[in-house]
């Protein structure tokens, strides 16, 4: 006795929304802070921005994170400067 494949539809319904989940995130391509980014859970390093229709990878996001970290350091440094007026 074996299990049948007739129950495939509920599984598809369960998997389908997870497959292409949309999360509001900063897009490294169009720099929209709340872009609807499509995350493919079967390929978690590939992303698709629905605002600019560009594809990008986790490496592209990492670049933005590092660039933003430099901004954070710069702003922190500037905030310690004495007033010059």
Q: Of residues 23, 30, 41, 65, which one binds Zn ion by CB under 5 A?
A: 30
Min dist CB 17 to Zn ion, Å, is: 22
**Contact call for residues 57 and 85 (beta carbons, < 8 A):** no
Our CB check for Zn ion shows the closer of 12 and 59 to be 59
Question: Considering the rule CB under 5 A, would residue 29 count as an interface residue with Zn ion?
Answer: yes
CA neighbor of 41 nearest in space, from 62, 21, 12, 13 = 21
Min dist CB 48 to Zn ion, Å, is: 9
Residue 11 CB-half CA count within 13 A: 4
The site for Zn ion (CB under 5 A) is made up of 27, 29-30, 35, 49, 51-52
């Amino acid at each position: 006795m074996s299990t049948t494949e007739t129950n495939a539809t509920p599984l598809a319904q369960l998997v389908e929304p997870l497959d292409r989940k949309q999360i509001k995130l900063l897009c490294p391509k169009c720099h929209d802070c709340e872009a609807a980014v499509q995350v493919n859970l079967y390929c978690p390093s590939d992303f698709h921005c629905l605002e600019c229709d560009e594809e990008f990878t986790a490496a592209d996001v990492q670049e933005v994170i590092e660039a933003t970290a430099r901004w954070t350091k710069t702003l922190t440094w500037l905030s310690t400067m004495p007033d010059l007026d």
